[in-house]
Structure 1
Amino acid sequence: MDFISAGDLNERVQARDLTHDAAGNAWSWTTAWGAWAKAEQSDRASYFSSVGIGARSVTFIMRKASRITLGLSFLWRGQFCFLTSIADTEQPGMVAVKAALCELVACQKDVDLDSAGCKFPGALTEKYLGHEQGRLQATTTVTYVLVTPKAIELAPNSLVEAGGKVYAVQVCHTLDPWKNEYEITRKEDC
Structure 2
Amino acid sequence: MLGLVKKGIWKIVRAIPFTRFFYETRDTQTPIRFGMWFMQKVVGYNRDAYWPMHFTSIVGNPKNIYAGIDTSPGYSPGCYIQGGGKVYVGDYTQIAPNVGIISSNHDLYDSRKKIVKEVRIGKYCWIGMNAVILPGVVVGDFTIIAAGAVVTKSFEEGYCVIGGNPARKIKDLVKKNAFLLQMNMSITDIFLLRILKHSEQKN
The alignment's TM-score, normalised by the length of structure 2, stands at 0.25
Greater share of residues in strand: 1
The alignment's TM-score, normalised by the length of structure 1, stands at 0.26
